[in-house]
């Protein structure tokens, strides 16, 4: 059955599983208790304060592009941190292009970090996406489910145990983030990974071997699948997804280390990587069997600028805002126009997907957040536009004729062919 939402050319399908998954926190807790194995809770569930070693390897999952069968039974997994509630609701149906058909205009908004803190940006943009018939990718930083007092659980490659280049969260922020993760997945958003310690530069991801990336990824899995044990939280509901199946891609901090990260992603059966340092707006291709979804160079005046955060302003004259509201307004306008120029170029041209990445930050008076909000409201309901997650885009690409994708890659961003004859 469908959920009744149809805007433009995007139709999302809600399966029967969605009715099970979309429950209140209290109901989910009751459900989890009801589904415990006979004989009561497991030792792990009885000892929530006992830390699971963060370096314990997680099994390498298999990630087919087709939806696995489901027996209709919700299953609480492991220590109760995650659960299998069936196929994710509100997912775009991937359909093969018909001969001569113009491709949809895909737009992917993605967020690095995905922490719900006092700024409440996670909830703000999750709700904004839902209101605009959009899905997004939230790249969760694993240690954002690890309270500061448990930081020693993290063993980063080439760094001291418990260290990180970002702050560990408070217990309150962990709980708030967990709630947003539940709601985001139920809305149809993707939960990817931004890995853990956000190390860049010397001894960062660019210096890590494939084995070190595998260690970092193992810990990212562990922090999500063992948050109950690691935090001691006993009353919170499990996440409504199996992270071993949900996680199919990520973005490396500072876009560093893709060369050695790709073999790790390949070994784990991941489907894409979004860590490339930049590319023009062209149709995606694969690296070693993994879809490469780079941040993109967008038109900005007489130059091309990377589509993330402060990179727009990094190419400006260097003039400081000095807290001046007029300068904030000017730069916000420039940022918004840069995104929209990139959108219009491909929307009226090659129809290559548009990738826009951001952090949840209030830099420069929050101008980037407002620009993204304005862009989402402007483009996501346009005819032929589908605002999707990276996982949904991978689903769509996987069902296309390889020869058609090859033809699409030949187009320049602003090149609008005669579609009926070009993709005949």
CATH architecture of 2-47+76-422: Alpha-Beta Barrel (3.20)
Domain boundaries, the chain: 2-47+76-422
What are the contacts of 198-203 at 24+ separation with CB within 8 A? 198/141, 198/164, 198/165, 198/166, 198/253, 198/254, 199/156, 199/157, 199/158, 199/159, 199/164, 199/165, 199/253, 200/165, 200/253, 200/254, 200/256, 201/254, 201/256, 203/157, 203/158, 203/159
Mean pLDDT of 30-38: 31
pLDDT above 80 (res 7) = no
Please state, for a pLDDT cut of 70, what percent of the chain lies above it: 80
331 pLDDT band (50/70/90 cuts)? Answer: confident
In the 8-state DSSP scheme, what is residue 7? E
Report the distance separating Cα 9 and Cα 3, nearest Å.
15
286-287/290-292 β-pairing: antiparallel
| pTM of the shown model | 0.83
Averaged confidence pLDDT in the chain = 83
Q: pLDDT tens digits for 217-227?
A: 999 999 999 99
Contact 108, 390 (CB under 8 A): yes
pLDDT of residue 275: 96
pLDDT at site 314: 47
The Cα 358–Cα 368 span in angstroms is 8
State what percent of residues in the chain have pLDDT above 90.
Answer: 68
CA 222 → CA 36, 63, 291, distances in Å?
Answer: 21, 18, 25
> 299-308, 339-348, 381-390: lowest mean pLDDT where?
299-308
Q: Residue 46 phi/psi, 5° resolution?
A: -75, -25
* pLDDT tens per residue, range 63-97: 444 455 778 889 999 999 999 999 999 999 999 99
Q: For residue 323, is pLDDT > 60?
A: yes
Rounded-to-integer distance, Cα 420 and Cα 221, Å: 45
Per-residue model confidence as pLDDT tens digits over 364-404: 777 788 889 999 999 999 999 999 999 999 999 999 999 99
With a cut of 50, say whether residue 205 has pLDDT above it. Answer: yes
Cβ contacts of residue 368 below 8 Å, gap of 6+? Answer: 309, 310, 332, 335, 358, 361
């Amino acid at each position: 059955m469908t959920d009744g939402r149809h805007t433009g050319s995007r139709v999302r399908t809600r399966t029967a599983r969605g009715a099970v998954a979309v429950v209140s926190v209290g109901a989910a807790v009751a459900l989890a208790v009801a589904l415990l194995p006979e004989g009561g809770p497991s030792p792990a569930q009885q000892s929530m304060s006992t830390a699971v070693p963060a370096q314990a390897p997680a099994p390498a999952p298999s990630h087919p592009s087709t939806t696995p069968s489901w027996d209709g039974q919700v299953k609480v997994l492991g220590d109760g941190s995650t659960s299998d509630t069936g196929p994710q609701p509100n997912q775009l149906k991937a359909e093969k292009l018909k001969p001569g058909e113009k491709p949809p205009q895909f737009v992917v908004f993605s967020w690095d970090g995905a922490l719900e803190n006092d700024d409440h940006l996670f909830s703000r943009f999750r709700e904004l996406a839902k209101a605009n018939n959009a899905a997004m990718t939230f790249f969760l930083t694993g240690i954002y489910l690890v309270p500061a007092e448990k930081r020693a659980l993290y063993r980063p490659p080439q760094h001291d145990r418990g260290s990180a280049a970002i702050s560990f969260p408070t217990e309150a922020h962990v709980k708030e983030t967990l709630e947003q993760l539940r709601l985001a997945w139920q809305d149809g958003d993707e939960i990817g990974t931004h890995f853990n310690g956000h190390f860049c530069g010397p001894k960062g991801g660019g210096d890590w071997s494939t084995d070190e990336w595998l260690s970092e990824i193992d810990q990212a899995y562990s922090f999500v699948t063992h948050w109950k044990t690691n935090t001691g939280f006993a009353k919170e509901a499990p996440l409504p997804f199996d992270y071993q199946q949900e996680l199919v891609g990520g973005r490396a901090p500072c876009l560093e280390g893709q060369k050695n990260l790709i073999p790790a992603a390949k070994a784990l059966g991941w489907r894409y990587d979004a860590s490339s340092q930049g590319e023009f707006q062209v149709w995606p291709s694969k690296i070693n069997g993994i879809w490469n979804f780079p941040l993109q160079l967008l038109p900005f005046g007489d130059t091309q600028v990377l589509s993330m955060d402060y990179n727009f302003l990094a190419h400006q004259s260097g003039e400081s805002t000095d807290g001046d509201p007029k300068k904030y307004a000017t730069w916000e306008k420039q940022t918004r126009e840069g995104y929209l120029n990139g959108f219009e170029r491909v929307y009226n041209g090659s129809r290559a997907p548009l990738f826009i990445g951001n952090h949840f930050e209030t830099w420069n008076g929050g101008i980037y957040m407002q620009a993204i909000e304005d862009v989402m409201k402007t483009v996501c309901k346009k005819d032929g536009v589908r605002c999707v997650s990276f996982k949904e885009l991978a689903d769509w690409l996987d069902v296309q004729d390889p020869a058609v994708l090859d033809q699409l890659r030949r187009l320049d961003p602003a090149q609008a062919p005669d579609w009926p004859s070009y993709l005949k």
